[in-house]
Every structure is written in structure tokens, then in C-alpha cells.
Chain A
Amino acid sequence: MLRAALTIAKKDIYSELRTKQVLGTMIIFAGLVILVLSFAFDPANNTTKAVIPGAVWIIIVFSGILGLNRSLVSEQRNDTMHGLLVAPMEASSIYLGKFMANFSMILIVEAVSIPFLFLLFDFKVNGSILYFILVLFVGSFGFIAIGTFLAALASNSKSSEMLLPLLLFPMTSPVLIGVTQATKIILTNMEKLHSAIAWLQLVAAYDVIFFVLCFLLIEYVLEV
């Protein structure tokens, strides 16, 4: 199953590297979100520093949703989804493959856009970068895991671009609460590290529960 998943992930990433369509759009979009944030919160003002940890997640969520939409809608243009479904593998390996492709793409977007955010807002990190990377990893994992699943669900609709955010945002609210709190603590106030760890544990529990649940239910979503 893992081999089939890796094949699908590789296929997605290869075709993405050929066109650079989605990644390019996601990164440009992340830059635009930073631009809009600079209008909304004056970068010269010191209080703006307080919203930066939240801004990190605004960027990830908004650019992530672009990529999630594409990853399954693109399989429909030539009805390649049908091809994947009749291929000798389980539905869950399609999910796993798509998940891995999306996850690596969002990690690339984060790696590019978050340093830019810190740079442009002149944000000095007072905490541990390693913990910050861990938070990014755990948070993106949960967001992409449930996002890939719901994108597969929404791709059955003609207006999946409109449907996906409506499904995804309420569903991922625990992840978003947890990671914004953890990010805030880790980037500004390392003394309260234990409560950041507690938040991380909550998000990790969510990740596990929903990853398993999506794994079990994906065959009902991808049924022909």
C-alpha cells in the first residue's frame, strides 16, 4: 500500500515540478496575503508583533486551500480519477499518496513564505526555532490530512472551490486554535513552554484521530 501511495505522490510532485503551476500560485498567494496583512496591521507599529504568530497560520491556511483544491480537481479533467480507482490498489493508498504530495507542497510553501513574513515585518524570534518547526509540522499535518480528505469529498461537486472552505474551516478549528496558541507561546514567551507542549499534544491527538478516521472512510468517498 505504501509503495502505491509513494508512486502517486511521486507522480503528483513530478507533474507539479514540470508545470510549477500550483506551487507558484501558492507562493505568490502567500506573498499577497503578507501584503494585505501589512495594510491591515501597520508593520511600523510595535503591537503588530502580537499578531504575527496568527498571521503565520493565516498564510498557511489560505495558500493551503488553493493547493488542496487543485490536487483532486486536476484528476478530473481527463477523468484520471477513474483510472486511479480501477488501478490495482486500495482507495486508502490514493488518499495517502495525495496526502504526501500535498504535505510536501505545503512544507515548501511554508519554508519560502514564513521567513519572508518575519523579514518583512521585522520580527525577531525570541523562542526556539526547532520547536517552531515542530509546531509547523504537526499543525500542517492535521490541516492537510483532513484537507485532502475533504477535498476528495468536495471534488464530487461542480463548485468544489466554494464548497471546500466551508467544509474545511469548521472542521479544522481545533487544529487552528491549538497551533496558533502554541506558535504564540513559542515565538514570544518561552517560559510557558509546558502549555505550548500541551497544545501540541492536543493537536497531535487530533492528527492521529482524524488521520485514522479519514483512512477508514476514504473508500466511501472514492467509490465509483
Chain B
Amino acid sequence: MSINLEREKAPLPAADLSPVKSSLLTKILYGSMAAAMLAAFYFIFLYAEIEKTMGAVQKIFYMHVPSAWVAFLAFFVTFVFSILFLIKRKRIFDTYAYVSAEIGVVFTIIVLTTGPIWAKSSWNTWWAWEPRLTTTLILFFLFVAYLMVRQMDGVWDKKARLAAVFGIIGFADVPIVFFAIRWWQSKFHPIVFGDGPSQQGGGIAPSMLVALLVTIAAFTFLYAYLLHKGVSFENMKIKVDHYKEKLRERLEN
């Protein structure tokens, strides 16, 4: 097929693609992400003291909590860009919403795998139907459903519209899910920050708090970097699709 085409038509002129430069923003994000990650490792393993009852296992806390934070942040970003898309109807907003949801799925999976590992050693059970666990699980299912809407057949603006609508009601659902399950049953997760209702729950050593904050910052940078990178990938894909379309038109005429 391709050989015949080459014989019939003159070879296609080289497309004048502007070389993709790695922008300054990418570099800054990458640099700060890498620096923050290294700092986070220092703070986790060397600076923060070892927990008395759980021992070294508790270090997974510094992966678990920031991942959960990023997962919720990602869904929030999807929510915001979904609203922006419905108002402005610009493709870039849709791309941001999509990429953010994809990253959210990854981090939710991290939460849902590190959680049971930690739970097994500290609560002696893999899973408990407890508010935050169950909410995260439902959040995961909502994210996956969001991506399923994206996999629909059809033109992009229809998919983007429907996905934006789903992103909005999905996000509105999460707090209600949380309160419903919180009412339903609550026994395991200690309240780490503040006094807590029983005035005796948890609390956190200062060095651990520092380590946690550094890790959260590092994960947020990681999220920003992944979002930025993912959006530029997605834009390249869109560009390639445009070129393909142009090429097909040219071959047909």
C-alpha cells in the first residue's frame, strides 16, 4: 500500500514542525520537584523520629497521607477545570481536567495500596470499612467512571462536555459520601491534628509534622510537574491528530 502510494504521489513535503523546546516552566517544575523529593527522603528517614509503638512501619505514613492529599487535590482540579470548560469551551481546560483525573487515579491507587500495608501492621487487618478508607475507594471508582466517560466514542467536544458534567457532580458527591460513611461507622483512623473529640486521639511529634509537611510539598510539586508534562503530551497528541487529518485530506484530493 505505502509503496504504491509513493509511486503515485510525490513524496510528501517535510512538515515544518517547530522543534519542541522544553520550556522554562518545565525545568523549574522538574528542578523543584527533584529537590523537594530528595529533601523529603532526608526528612522521612533521617530527621523524623521513629514512632514508639509502630516502629519503622510508620514511615509509610509519609507516602500515604501526601498521596491522599494529591488524589483529592487532583479531583478538585478536575472539578475546577470542568466548570471552566463548560463556561469557556476551550479545549485546553478539558485537557487539564483529563490529565488531572488520570494523575488522580494513579495517586488513589497508591493510597489504596499503601493503606492496607500499613493497616496490616498497625491495626492487624488489611481493610476496614471506615470513613476515610471507604471514601477513598468510592473516589477511586468515581475517577475510573470519569475516565470511562472519556473512553466513549464520538467527537471530542461531546466527550469533553459529558466528562465535565460528570466531573462536577462527582466532586459534589465526595463530601456527602464522606459524611454518610462517617456517620455509618467510625473507629479506626486516629485524629492526628487537633485535639479530637475524645481529647486523647493521636497527636504528632514536631519532627514528624515537619517531615510530613515537606513530603506534602514534594508530592504537590510532583503533581504539578506530572500535570504540566501530561498536558503537553496531550497537546502533542492533538497536534498529531490534526496533522493526520491534514495528511488524509491531501491524499484524498
State whether the Cβ of A28 lies closer than 8 Å to any Cβ in chain B.
Answer: no
Number of interface residues of A (CB under 8 A): 31
B176→A209 contact, CB < 8 A: yes
Residue B65 interfacial (CB < 8 Å): no
- Mask: chain A, 191-208; 1 = CB below 8 Å from B; 0 = not: 000000011001001100
Min Cβ gap B42→A in Å is 39
| Residues of A close to B148: CB separation below 8 A | 163, 166-167
A173 touches B138 (CB 8 A): yes
In the docked arrangement, what's the CA distance between A118 and B141, Å? 33
Among A156, A166, A174, A209, point to the contact of B177 (Cβ < 8 A).
A174
- Say yes or no: is B183 at the interface (Cβ < 8 Å to chain A): yes
> Which residues of chain A have C-beta atoms less than 8 A from B170's C-beta?
171
What is the CB-to-nearest-CB distance from B153 to chain A, in angstroms, rounded to a whole number? 6
The answer to whether A157 and B153 touch across the interface, beta carbons within 8 angstroms, is: yes
Interface digits, A126-167 against B, CB 8 Å rule (1 contact, 0 not)?
Answer: 000000000000000000001001100100111000010011
Closest B residue, CB atoms, query A153:
B162
**Chain B residue contacts of A158, Cβ below 8 A:** 153
User: Complex: how many Å from CA A181 to CA B180?
Assistant: 11
Closest to B173 in A: A171
Note all chain B residues with C-beta closer than 8 A to A198. 183
B222 at the A/B interface (Cβ < 8 Å)? no
From B149, B154, B173, A174 is in contact (CB under 8 Å) with B173
A174 to B135, CA, bound (A): 10
Tell me, rounded to whole Å, the shortest Cβ–Cβ distance linking A213 to chain B: 6
A206: nearest residue on chain B (CB-CB)? B176
Most chain B CB inside 10 Å of its own CB: which residue of A169, A173, A181, A205: A173
Q: What A residues does B179 contact at CB under 8 A?
A: 174, 202
Indicate if B161 sits at the interface (CB-CB under 8 A).
yes
> B158 touching A177 by the CB < 8 A rule?
no
CA distance in complex: A6, B119 (Å): 53
Given contacts A163-B149, A170-B138, A202-B180, contact A220 B169 (CB under 8 A): no
Candidates A156, A163, A166, A167; contact of B158 at CB < 8 Å: A156
Give the chain A neighbours of B141 by CB distance below 8 A. 166, 169-170
CB distance from A193 to the nearest CB of B (A): 16
Tell which of A156, A169, A214 has the most Cβ of chain B within 10 Å: A156
Instruction: Please indicate the chain A residues that have their CB under 8 angstroms from the CB of B166 in the complex.
Output: 150, 153, 167
A210 at the interface (CB under 8 A from B): yes
Q: Does A32 contact B (CB under 8 A)?
A: no
Contact A181 B177 (CB under 8 A): no
Known contacts: A158-B153, A163-B148, A167-B145. The answer to whether A173 contacts B165 by CB under 8 A is no
- Inter-chain contact A174/B153, CB cutoff 8 Å: no
A residues bordering B, Cβ < 8 Å? Answer: 146, 149-150, 153, 156-158, 163, 166-167, 169-171, 173-174, 177-178, 181, 198-199, 202, 205-206, 209-210, 213-214, 217, 220-221, 223
B residues contacting A by CB (< 8 A) are 86, 138, 141-142, 144-145, 148-149, 152-154, 158, 161-162, 164-166, 168-170, 172-173, 176-177, 179-181, 183-184
16 contacts between A and B (CB under 8 A): A156-B152, A158-B153, A163-B148, A163-B152, A166-B148, A167-B149, A170-B141, A170-B142, A171-B170, A174-B173, A177-B180, A177-B184, A199-B183, A210-B169, A213-B169, A220-B86
